[in-house]
Structure 1
Amino acid sequence: MYELTHNQAQTIVDRMMKDIPYNINIMDQTGMIIGSGNKGRIGTLHHGALKAIKQGKIVEIHKDEEFVKKGINLPIEMNGHIVGVVGISGEVKETRPFGNLLKSAVILLIDQSIALEKENLKNNLKQEFFSLIIDSDTTYTKELMNQALTYGIQLSKPSQVLYVDSSNEIAEDITVGFPSFKISKTSLCLVIQEADKVEALQQLIRNQNPDALISISKVNDTISEGFLQAKSAMRVLKGFYFNEKTISYSKCEFIADMSKLQKNDTKAERLIHLLEKNDELIKTLQVYLGCNLNANVTAEKLIIHRNTLNYRLNKIHTITGKDPKNILELVELIFMLINRII
């Protein structure tokens, strides 16, 4: 049987008393006041509610007595059970017209609360499942494989993982028909088991979120491997490239894997700290790399003079101690760019 909580009851009372000019009390199935316009009465027994629960019908009290005040008390029934009582204090002839209206509103709000709890439970179960399938230590048991089918995933079938990252909140149902899981409010993971649908899926995402970043794993036997690949590729995309919005793990596999090895490197962390507040220099380095170290093309893309570009590259050298024009030192700067992305 559903049980009303104090928070639910008080929220309903506060909301309804904005429209009804009488004190409202909400009692639980034992007759205890759990929500009231008179906060001092919360936690006390309501004798009118006890009568309504015992008789299973509306109880009208026409005059104040020792333990009860005049008003109307209506039992709240759900699925044949009384889950509480709503009471309105005041002259019965004045409060009676509000009775059924208030009772209906309370039942509606309870229904909404139940629906929300069910949805939260559903989402929690889905999140627990997602946490399992991206864990490399998870074994694909028969039970897990059956659970996966409810989300449209065949764990025995190879798959690709598509990682979407947006600057704004992204809806989980952005791509109807494909299994999707929220990573955060602005990021999403999709499991694709039909290789010929990848391009169409990307276009669908682009149509709804033009600025979203997308990374795509290789085809793998496990979703956990695909997730790691897509996540690593996303870090490369966000750290290494400027103005690029899509990347495949297969195109950056070496640098993505190397960046994972360098993630806890203290030298990389020091370089990150040195440049973390200088967006102009970071952007310059990203464009320089994207232009394959071609200074003329880089200056043109940045819309700056060649001398200005040289000044910025020299400044990077001065700040970090790493020369962008030296290929070995540039590699360290590349890892710095990638590892600054969490």
Structure 2
Amino acid sequence: MDKSYDPFKYSSDSLEDVAEQISDVLKCPITIEDVNHRLLAYSTHSDSTDPARISTIIGRRVPEKVIHSLWKDGTIPALLKSQEPIHVKNIKEVGLGNRVAISIWKNNEVLGFIWAQEINKSLTSNELDLLKKAANAVQNKLLYLQKGKMKKEEREQEFFWKLLTGNTLRHDDMADGFYQLNKTMPPIYSVVLFRFTKPITEKMEKQLNYLLETTQLVHICLVTIDYNELILLVSPKEEQPLNQIKQFLRVMEKQMMQRYNIEHFAMSIGGIYSDISSVHIAYKEALAVLKVKERYLSDAEHLMSFSELGIYQYLDVLAEKRKHNRSPNYPLSQLEKYDNEHHSNLIETLETFIDSDSNVKTAAKQLNVHVNTLNYRLKRIQEITGLDLKNVNEKFSILLEIKIRNMGL
């Protein structure tokens, strides 16, 4: 075949027609995706196509389990580095048959991918050259779509900031905003925050956007970036919404580290709401969680959502009140005196015991001591302080005092 032969030189304006044309030339089913694996166009296919292709067409994007497998076997990392066709062997676990994939590039940026499914045949070297020419032909069409998407994202971000700052207070205005953006108003939602130690670069923004576009754990309604913060409006399914958002955060954390080596960031979740006029409240709550995590470090490291803050919501207020009350807390001062004189750690013991819901076995395991040893220490604490460790009010009061002391408030 003449190497200069290019059947796609004068391709149609329609991506769907281009997909059909590539399929006719290569004699195999074709799908064209954007860089975040959303389906842009596909050719017709016979009944022998595989489940992964069918699911992609029905869902208008590649299933998350397929994307994960393609990262795991090295296919997607290779596509993000090479302009050459990549052979993909079948992955039975996710219903993916043999394929050849090629990235669509513009300068040093990947715009999307073309996937050619090999059914009862393998593409020849000449056909692989034709696939490269097809990628060149699709390039300008994807650039045009990308520009339109960028304008839409700008409108979305402007609207999102109005919601986050509470500047759009009328419910009708909010409903109209979602309608203008061709989005459905979420029936249930929360605001999620990722705060990084460094500003979010353009490269990092694309990586984060990729993860958000490909997740199917929650629906990402709106996205914006503020210096070193990624702010999301997410809508979970109505069953166990908080658990679903937590799972989404855990998966995001894992994928950021494994795929892009992004580390050192904090995550938080605001309250769960159904009234769209509460977005600014959920945002403030997510910020409050990050403030607590940063201020109380290891004590609050495990906290993720506003509903989990518990007493940490009130420590600042209590600490301020304590400043005006010059007299020290007697039980705590007695324990501090005893610990200093005997080089012991009865305050840590008491805190761990109460934090463990007064469960001696759990607390003993946390402290790495025998149960009998812990019981002796608790008895000694009661003798020194006069505390009744069966009294909920007394235990809660001393726990607050210990937390305030630990944080240096």
What TM-score, normalized to structure 1? 0.39
What TM-score, normalized to structure 2? 0.34
